[in-house]
Structure formats: structure tokens, C-alpha cells
Structure 1
Amino acid sequence: MSDIGALVSKLSTMGFSDPPVEHAAVDSVDQWAEALSTVSGLPSKYTLTKTLIFKPKQPKSEAIAPVVVIAKDVSATNSKTIGTELKLKDLRFASDDILSGIFQTAKGSVSPFALSQVPKENIGSVRVVIDKALLNDTTGKIAFHPLDSSRTVFISNETLKSFIKSVEGLTHVIEMDFAAAAAAPAAAPAAAKASRPAAAAAAPKAEEVSGTKLGLDVTKEGDFSTWYRQMLMKAEMYDNYPISGCFILRPLAYFIWQEIQKFLDAGIMSMGVKNSYFPMFIPGDVLEREKDHIEGFAPEVAWVTRAGSTELAEPIAIRPTSETVMYPYFAKWIRSHRDLPLKLNQWCSVVRWEFKNPTPFLRTREFLWQEGHCAHLTKDGAMTEVREILTLYRRVYEELLAVPVIEGVKSENEKFAGGDATTTVEGFIPATGRGIQGGTSHYLGQNFSKMFKISVEDPESTGADRPKLFVHQTSWGLSTRTIGVMAMIHGDNKGMVMPPRVAETQVVIVPCGLSSKQTDEERCEIENACLNVEARLKMLGVRAEADLRENYTPGFKFSHWEMRGVPIRLEIGPKDLVNQSVTFVRRDTSAKGQMAFEGMEAAIQLLLIKIHDEMLARARKEMEDHTKIVLKWADFVPALNKKCMVLIPWCERSECEDQIKARSTRDELQDQLEDEKEPSMGAKSLCLPYKQPENPPLVHGQTKCVQCGEDAKRYALFGRSY
């Protein structure tokens, strides 16, 4: 039952009558509570819940036997306690593949209703544990997500009981008193407590060591998805919006996008590209003209069907991309080979009404991008541009964002619909072991020019009946996904780590060492020194800010600017004034040092360059260390499980790629990971890298495809991906 309408219809037979409430998509209970706080007309009393899915440790030969826990959000659902109750060992959170493959759901959207989506062959092994406090509370409604974290339904506990009973084949259902279970450990013998070594008793908690207690509640290593959203939210990079899948870009993030715009605009203009703007509305009949192209976008197209109270005669689409918007005008404007090349770009937003889990910057229903569309007389001219643009995209990542990427061409399965070839820059997120597409530049061939009749007379021919030549076209795009990739790679457990060239504030100056002992004159002297440093740096174009807020301690200010990723912090106190120096702290490494007032400007500029270069070098080493050459299938999935991308000799056949994805997914489910928090999905081709391995190893003297054994054409990069 993947359809929300079908679920609501089923619940209506069990006493449920209110429609689902829509709100911003959420990943946690805290976000859920915040999202609901903006919605009116909710029940006067309701209880938030959590639905957790665990998998016990078991022999590989046995079928997967998940445990579904349904509880109040405040109940202590200890996995060890639950395992003891069910006589199961080592309960761990289920992997993404179990969530999607068995329950047809994803993190953030899990609820009891996913039980209706479990295949018949699996439902008999599923165990359900329900919080007694949830079933016994009759004072209000119970809140759940109806298969989608951007909606909430409020049902009674009787409706919940009826739903659980209605799941055909579900036989293992127990009630558990989590409150009593949580209280039980308090009665542990005092002797047991006394037996702890003194060193252990004195050791600080993990979150205190990592610096997350006052900032982030989770670590990058422990819960990457929650860490990512929480880091961006607390760094004030984005905020949620009432329409699911839409997010607000706050100034810190928008500044990054503006820096990317400046860099890329200068690059494309030097190539002769001119900026333009086309309307965002597309007539339905125009969108349908290129069925092969639009087929991939069709499920994501948003339509306008009404203006005020009047139904439109024909629905109007909101652009998911602009080929069908722009190319009728290419046909109108290109009348001769002298009009070529025509090179246009537009900075705009597009709307793709995706129904997968929205993720800020990575997967959103509206996002900002640039899209270039160009027409050339020859294929050579078009292909030259495709590669020049790809080089520009690589430079955006490496020269601005300190993110290494791999340049290559997409496989036939992964190329742009309606095009002849797609080139790409691929990034890598070490924390999850997944690749991520960073930007694409397409050679469209003559497919669109034939569809839209964009042609010129052959300039090499003479006479009255010169043959028509269809132009060769390109399209290319880079989006605000760049910001998400940068944040995922560089962010840490204190928050954002900004590459200096896109940091809104590159240097923050904080007065320190002040106390009640200082006179007003002494305090004023230190603050003036901070302002003087700020002015000197700004004169050289360094984006500096003196934080002179009196109602915050230096420690609070340190955390504030660390969360926002400011590359350099300067501290100025009474001793610094005496020594005519400042203390500097690097955000990326936390390294400290002293810097003389004299010549400080040049030292800061060199340090900003050094920070960028070292951030890029560290990220590149991480990527290289997690890229493995694999020559036999037995090593393929184990390499993925070690959070690596793999380079394999490949035949480049589409059917072989389908088999790789299916086979790696199946092998993963059969051979469960020891750590369930590792990524666990099938692999797909990321690209065929332009830079092939040096002195590549051979198999039996002849390179064969790892999957099918046929002759390999070149090495391909495969991996799990976003």
C-alpha cells in the first residue's frame, strides 16, 4: 500500500475521519514538533510518536527478521532491553535497504503503516513491539506519518489497534512497558557502580569530548543524516518552509551561491556565452513535443490548472528544465550559419515535484541553477564546448569549494534523456561512502534540432538547393547541490567548515581576557584594536568582522562562529596588546598560533590560501584512499561496504549495468553488514573517468568485465550514490 489515499481510505473504516495535515518534511521528532507548531487546526491534545525498525544479529542463512517498535516520542526505547524481552541478540537499526526493500519506506517517514507494505513472504517474521503507555493513553490523539514525513495523521489508540490487527500475516505483536523497563536499572547494586575504575568514572562523555553538547546533538560518524540537517539548520544555512520539499536559503548559503555565480559567469562569458531569461511556464503541448526527453521528468512536473477561481483551458507546466522552452526560439533566431554559434545561459530556479525524501540542497522540489543551451554548426565545436564547461565545473568545486571531483562520461543508462552523451563531475562523501553527481555537461547531438527544426543551409555547398544542416546542440547545468556537497565533505562535529573563498566572513575578531578588573578605558582600547584589525583587513578585500557584542562571553562567540565555519578566528586581549600580536585559530584544524600586528594583512592572506589548499588536499586524499581497483566480483560488494568507490574493467553494456545494480543489491541483503549504519544499496555506474588508471592490472593477460566476463573496454567508476 504505497498510496497515501489508499491508506487514508483504509483508516476511515477504523474510526479515522480527519484528512492528513501537510507540513515541511522532517527527519526527527524535534523537527516534527517544530513543523506542526506552524500548522493551525490541530487536535487540542496529541502525542508525538517514534517508530523504529531494528534487525537482530543472526546467521546469514536465516531470513531477515525485523523488529518494529511503536512508542511515545519520550519513551526510553533501549534496544538491549527490547532484545532481552524478545530473546534476540544485538538489535541494531535496520539498514536503508531493509527500510526500502521490505517496508517500502525511508528514514524520517517510518510509521506503523509501513507494515501494510511488507511482502507476504516477509510479514510472518516481523515482530512488533508497542508501547503500553501509547495504548493506554486515551486523553488525546496519536500522531503518525502516513508513509510520508511531510504529512501527519492524528488517530485514536483504538484506530491504531485496529490497524495492527488488520495487517494480514502479522502474528508477533507484544505490548511493552518502556517506563518500567527504563526504571529497572536504577536498582542496580551499589557494589557494581563502585567497581568502575576511577579513570573511567572521571572520563568526560563522548559528546562533551567531541564538542557537540552545546551545538550539535549527534555526531557526523554516528548519525550522518541527522547531523547534516542539524548542522545546516544551526549554522543558519537554511530553514524549513510550509510546502514539503521547499527550503529557504538563508544569507550564509546564498552568499556561497553568489560567489559561484560570479566565478562561473566570468568563465562562460569568456567563452562567448550570453545570459538571458525565459519564462518559467511551459504550454502543455510544447512539453509533449519531445516525449523521449520529458519522459524522465514527467512524474516530477508541477502543473498550474487554475488562475484565481477560473480553471485554465489548458494546464501549464512549471519548467523542470528548459529545452522545450528555449528551442522553438532557437529555430526562430537561427536563420543562417552566420548566426552560429548561439550560446545562451540563464540563472533561474526549476521545479521538480520529487516524492523521495527531500534533503536540503541535495533533493528539493525547487532549486536554483544555471542552465546553458548552445547551438553549433559542427559536432567538433559542440564537443569542445562540452569539455570546456566540464572543466569550469571542476574548477568551481576545486578552486572555490575545496572539493575534489572526477571528470568523466556517463554510461548509456545514466546519460541525459534525449541526448547523445553526458559528461559529469562526480564527488565523493567519505562519511557515507557514496558518490554524488556534481554537475553535467551534455552533447545533445541533433536530436532536439530535428525535433524543433533548427537548421541552416550548408555553407560548404553552392547553388539554389543547398542542403539543410541540423545544428549540433549542448546543454549544461550546475545547481545549489554544490553547497550540500561542500557541507557534507568539510563539516565536522562543531558545525560548518567554510572554504575561505566562499565564506561570507573569512576572519572574525573576538576581544578576550576582559574582566571586571579592567577599566572602561582598557576595555575600550581592546575593542578599538579589534576594530582597527577589521578595518585593515577590509582594506585588502578580506571579509572580516569584529564581534563586540557585550552580552555574550568569548566562549559563546567561539562556538557561534565555529558553527558557521568562519575560517580564521583572531583573539585580542590585554597581553596581545602588550606583545603587539594576535592569537589566530584555524577553523579547519583548530591549530593555534601567534601573529604580529605588523605585516598581519599579508600573513592572513597567505593563511587563507593555505587553508584552502590543505582542505582540498585532505579531501582529495580521502577520495583517493576510498577508490579501489576491483578485478573480481567477490571483492565488489566488500569494497562498497568499506565505504569505497570501485574502478572495474567494464564492457559498457546497459544490460550488464542493470545486472551489477541488481546483483550488488541482492548480495548486500544476503550478506548483512556487521555495522547496520553503513550504507547498503546497490551500486550503479558513476562515470567512465577520463583519467584512467595508470598501468592498469590485467586479468589472465586480457582485461575482462568483472561482472559478465566479456571483453572490457575501459575502467568504469561504480559506487553507491545519492
Structure 2
Amino acid sequence: MTDDDQELGITESKSHDTGEWYAEVVRKAGIANYGPEGMSGFIVTRPRGYALWEAVQSALDAKFKATGVQNAYFPMFIPESYLEREKDIVEGFDPEVAWVTKGGHEELEERLAVRPTSESIIAPYMSKWIRSHRDLPLRVNQWCSVVRWEATETKPFFRTKEFLWQEGHTAHETDEEAWEETMTRLDQYESIYEDVLAIPVLRGQKPDHDTFPGAKVTTTVEALMPDGKSVQGGTSHHLGQSFAEAFEITFSDTDEKERTAYTTSWGLSWRCLGALIMTHSDEQGLVLPPTVAPEQVVVVPIWQSDTKADVLEYAEGVTADLEEAGVRVELDDRDEHNPGFKFNEHELHGIPLRIEIGPNEVDDDELTLVHRPDGESTVADRTDVAETVRSHLDEIYAKLYTAAEENLDGEVREADDRAEILGTIGRHGGYVETPWCGEQACEAEIKEQIAAEIVMVPFEDDDELVGDDHDETCGVCGEEAVRTAYFAKSY
């Protein structure tokens, strides 16, 4: 990924070389560049890319605040002794932790971890802030970056050593309240994907062996990419009392007895931007839903020398009306490029709706509207342009969601034995649903042979295999099945 953005066209194939195509779209659409030489695993997020993150941040932050969450900020460095207070955190993240050992020229008395996650720096302060049941529930969130020194190949937004995210942390009086909080955040993550990013998701929980370090239950939303791989879209963790016990988060109840709190944590990262780009974009470039697009509409005037003044005046009026209505609109009145160049550039940048205005539109008091996802062209009256545009933007969103939903619906398949699991994933990708005995060894066997893992199991209330009223056997080992597992390759 270089800084050379002059060649507008996408040359790679989405269907045949998804990874190279994705990297090309990210670069040429002005979303991101790789970081400096010698800093493998880091990216530079360009303004158009950061605007996408701001759109997600704004929508999610509003949901958080409407449900009692307050934003805070904690240090990016965590003393090693803090990490060690929760042994599962240390064991879970140790291979990925970046350490600071010197400050200036001085050796530090204690190593400082660059936060891989913040439970162990936030929990001690929650302990200080909570004294009574009246202080509960306590809900804080921070928007920040974290560093995880992964050895895997970098893929912008999907896999980087530093990434942006939000992480929420809460404390509650009861286990039931903590579980309700966990599900509230999962609901909000599902809404971000389905109502903001136009991506349908599956929801459930991680198998016990793949929960967040120290967590009682990890819940997840999973999004399917066009290449058949799954993206862990956001996770919400019911931590039980493990962190509260490690960091002494206690409160006095109504009887003045000291009790240990129940805590949760939950996070969504800019991986959602990778899912957004990969799901909707095509071989002309970036495709964005109107909900997050920096520019929802571009107005392109098309003139000859004798019609320029009238066409520009008409186009400026349309643009002004849309701006007044709160539509994010750009008027492309550049002289140095012809309309064809402009069309290609705006398609590359993913602007959802193009309005073409030439002499005929001026004479007939009309507009030509072109949808980015499929090139559908419609002629509409100039009157009530804002209402017309909003209707078209809604239609564009629906098109994107429907296409992604059809892809997901066709990529969930059932399998009953090892050969069928391996064969189905090998031929088709997507999700393979199978009965599972609950043993990690059965996942490991599939993972070793085809690099697929259990990305999700349904919640117990939704899983027909929970209980004694079935005679299903594990699709891998043939022993009695206790859960339904969804296998998939993943990012």
C-alpha cells in the first residue's frame, strides 16, 4: 500500500483475490496507508477513513449515553503488578503485550505494559469509586487505542498491532444485572452492524475455552464476509466476580454488609470498518451506506460553454437545498476534469448517490439520480429535492443490506460428521452448523486440518441441543452432543 493514488481504477478481482482487492480499495479510495518502513503492523488512517470511524463512534456513543454510560479516560500504560493481579489477563495477553522499560534515559523500576485491554487499570479505580450499593451500577467507557503485538500478517482494520476501539466497563449488585448489561451491549453492537453498517450478523456466545481471559461468558456478533470468512464484530463479556475479587471491587448493601460486585466489559473496534469495506465494495471501488458516508450525495453539473452558467446556477441551487436539509452533499464543479473522470472518482470513493445535471435537466426542471451500488438511474422532479434524495438514500441502504443478507442466508450449512464439516468448509466457506460434544479437542482437530474454528455457539435458550431431549452426536468425535457449534474460517 503506497501513497500513489493517481491510478483511479481497481485492478484486482474481489472474487479471485479478495485480499489484494481489499488492500487496493483501501488505498485508492483514500482510506488508509501502511505505516512507516520498519513498523510492520501499523497503519495511517486518512481523513476519509477516520470519518467512517467517527460515524460509528457517534452512533454508538449516543446509544451508550442513552443507557447510562459515561465516558472517561485511563492511562495507556499499565504497571506490570496491576496486570498480574488478574492471572488470566496475564496468561491470555502475555504473548501480545508491548512493554516500556525506560523513561528517557532512566530504567523504570517496574515495567509498564502498553494496554492490550484496560480491565486491570480501570478495575482498581472502580474499586476506589464504589463504596455503597447507591454507587451501583457504575458504567464507564473509553474511546482509545490498544496495542497487541500480533505476529500475523497485517490487513488494514482487520489485523493491526495498534487499533482503535471503545471499551466499556461496568459494576453491578447482582449476577443477573451484570448479565442484562452484557446483553444490552450485545444488542447495541448488533444494531450498529444492521442499522448503521448494513451488515446482518449472527449472535451467540464463544465456547467456554475461547472466552475473554477471566470472563464467565463472552458473547459475540459475527459477520460473514464475501470470501466466506467470519469477522468477530464485537464482544460483550460477563466477567462474573473474578475481576471484582482480584481488584477488591466491593460495596455495602442495604444491610451494611460488604459484598463483592459483578462486572462486565465490552468492546467494538475499527475491525467493523474492514467488514464494512469488504462487504459492500466492488471492483469499481468503495461502496458505502449513506449512514456513514462522509458525502452522501455528489452533484455533478455537465455543461458546454454556452450552457455552463445556467447549469451551474441550477446545480448550486440543488446543492444549497440539500445542505439546508442536513444532507452531506458535495458540488463537483471542477473545470479540469470531464464528467466521466468525475463519475469514476466518486464511484471509487463510494459516494452513495450521484445527481447529474445537464441542460436537459435544467430545461425540464428535473434531476438524474444514479445509485452507487448498482448504477440504477432515475429521473425525478426538482421539486422537494431533499425528500426525494432521502427516499433514494433509504433505498440504497436497503439494497446493500438485502445483498449482504442474501449472502449470509446462503452461507449457513449443516454438517453431521467430520468429513462433511471439512468438505463443506473447503468447498464453500461460510458457516457450518454441527452438533458438538463441548470438548476443545474436537475444535482443534478441525482447526488443524482446515484452519477453521468454532466462532460461535447459540445461547443456551436458543440451542436445541441443551438438555436431555435429543439423541444427536458430535459431528467430530461421535460422542453425545451438548451444544450446537458454528465452524468457520475467520479474520
Q: TM-score, normalised by structure 2?
A: 0.94
Aligned to 1:506: 296
Deviations 1:242-270 (CA, angstroms, capped at 9, x unpaired):
12211111121211111111111111112
Paired residues of 1:406 and 1:689 also in contact (CA < 8 A): no
Paired residues of 1:693 and 1:715 also in contact (CA < 8 A): no
Deviations 1:436-492 (CA, angstroms, capped at 9, x unpaired):
100000000000111111112343x46xxx3x3211000000111110001011010
Aligned to 1:540: 325
Instruction: From the superposition, tell whether residues 280 and 694 of structure 1 become closer, same or farther in structure 2 (CA, over 3 Å).
Output: closer
CA distance in 2, matches of 1:506, 1:479: 24
CA distance in 2, matches of 1:597, 1:457: 66
Deviation at 1:309, TM superposition (A): 2.7
CA distance in 1, matches of 2:462, 2:416: 13
Deviation at 1:695, TM superposition (A): 9.1
CA distance in 2, matches of 1:580, 1:231: 37
Aligned to 2:23: 229
Higher relative contact order (CA 8 A, sep 6+): 2
Aligned to 2:352: 567
Aligned to 2:76: 280
Instruction: From the superposition, tell whether residues 702 and 456 of structure 1 become closer, same or farther in structure 2 (CA, over 3 Å).
Output: same
Aligned to 1:495: 285
Alignment RMSD: 2.0
The match for 1:525 among 278, 285, 310 is 310
Paired residues of 2:170 and 2:263 also in contact (CA < 8 A): yes
Instruction: From the superposition, tell whether residues 586 and 255 of structure 1 become closer, same or farther in structure 2 (CA, over 3 Å).
Output: same
Aligned to 1:161: none
CA distance in 1, matches of 2:94, 2:135: 33
Aligned to 1:289: 85
Aligned to 1:657: 443
CA distance in 2, matches of 1:492, 1:222: 12
Gaps (5+ residues) in structure 1?
1-25, 36-212, 666-680
Deviations 1:308-362 (CA, angstroms, capped at 9, x unpaired):
3333333222111101111111111111122111111111111112221111101
Aligned to 2:366: 581
The match for 2:240 among 433, 445, 449 is 445
Aligned ranges for residues 235-250 of structure 1 at < 5 Å? 235-242=29-36, 243-250=39-46
Q: Indicate whether 1:420 and 2:216 are aligned.
A: yes
Q: Indicate whether 1:253 and 2:38 are aligned.
A: no
Paired residues of 2:201 and 2:223 also in contact (CA < 8 A): yes
Q: Indicate whether 1:707 and 2:471 are aligned.
A: no
Aligned to 2:490: 721
CA distance in 2, matches of 1:386, 1:376: 11
Where 1:296 maps in the other structure, the secondary structure is helix
Aligned ranges for residues 30-109 of structure 1 at < 5 Å? 31=2
Matched letter for residue 91 of structure 2: E
The match for 2:378 among 593, 598, 603 is 593
Where 1:297 maps in the other structure, the secondary structure is helix
CA distance in 1, matches of 2:470, 2:102: 66
Paired residues of 1:435 and 1:721 also in contact (CA < 8 A): yes
Instruction: From the superposition, tell whether residues 708 and 326 of structure 1 become closer, same or farther in structure 2 (CA, over 3 Å).
Output: same
Q: Indicate whether 1:270 and 2:39 are aligned.
A: no
CA distance in 2, matches of 1:683, 1:362: 17
CA distance in 1, matches of 2:52, 2:70: 22
Gaps (5+ residues) in structure 2?
none
Paired residues of 2:412 and 2:430 also in contact (CA < 8 A): yes
The range that moved more, 340-349 or 306-315, is: 306-315
Paired residues of 2:204 and 2:457 also in contact (CA < 8 A): yes
Whose radius of gyration is greater, 1 or 2?
1
Deviations 1:552-580 (CA, angstroms, capped at 9, x unpaired):
11111111100011000111111111121
Deviations 1:478-523 (CA, angstroms, capped at 9, x unpaired):
11111000101101000110011000000001112x33xx32xx20
CA distance in 1, matches of 2:105, 2:260: 44
CA distance in 1, matches of 2:335, 2:415: 59
Aligned to 2:266: 476
Aligned to 1:220: 14
Deviations 1:296-318 (CA, angstroms, capped at 9, x unpaired):
21122112222333333332221
CA distance in 2, matches of 1:354, 1:276: 27
Deviation at 1:631, TM superposition (A): 2.0
Aligned to 1:675: none
CA distance in 2, matches of 1:255, 1:416: 30
Deviation at 1:694, TM superposition (A): 10
Aligned length: 483
Deviation at 1:701, TM superposition (A): 7.3
The match for 2:140 among 322, 331, 344 is 344
The match for 1:643 among 405, 429, 444 is 429
Deviation at 1:214, TM superposition (A): 5.1
Q: Indicate whether 1:305 and 2:101 are aligned.
A: yes
**Over 3 Å off, 4+ runs:** 690-696
Deviation at 1:394, TM superposition (A): 0.4
CA distance in 2, matches of 1:247, 1:620: 30
CA distance in 2, matches of 1:644, 1:273: 36
Where 1:502 maps in the other structure, the secondary structure is coil
Deviation at 1:527, TM superposition (A): 1.1
Where 2:90 maps in the other structure, the secondary structure is helix
Aligned ranges for residues 322-401 of structure 1 at < 5 Å? 322-401=118-197
